[in-house]
């Protein structure tokens, strides 16, 4: 499944990332909608959910995120909705780990 979030804030370290495999962090922006896919093996076998997907978070609850590979690239977002399929462009789509 896929979860759409609206990025509320992010650290300046995201924009400073220059390593080739991590350049995607430069494209993160406050106010943008991003999609995050929950796939095995990140999915718990017991709950069939990914940790941090904001399952019970609705409305104005602010959730925290951190980029894999750069713990200084982090921020907050709010859950918009959960979908069976992601509808974001590829540059705005991510995977839970």
Strands (E), the chain: 2-10, 33-37, 63-67, 70-83, 93-95
For position 51, what pLDDT does the model report? 86
For position 64, what pLDDT does the model report? 93
For position 58, what pLDDT does the model report? 73
Model pTM score: 0.84
Q: Which residue has the tokens 């750069």?
A: 70
Residue 92 is given by DSSP the state: G
For position 85, what pLDDT does the model report? 84
For position 24, what pLDDT does the model report? 85
3 state SS of 40: coil
Q: Which residues of the chain have pLDDT under 70?
A: 59
């Amino acid at each position: 499944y896929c979860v759409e979030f609206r990025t509320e804030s992010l650290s300046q370290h995201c924009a400073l990332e220059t390593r080739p495999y991590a350049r995607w962090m430069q494209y993160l922006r406050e106010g943008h909608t991003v999609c995050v896919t929950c796939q095995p093996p990140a999915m718990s076998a017991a709950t069939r959910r990914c940790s941090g997907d904001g399952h019970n978070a609705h409305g104005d609850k602010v959730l925290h995120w951190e980029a894999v590979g750069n713990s200084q690239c982090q921020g907050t977002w709010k859950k918009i909705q959960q979908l069976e399929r992601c509808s974001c462009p590829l540059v705005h789509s991510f995977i839970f780990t």
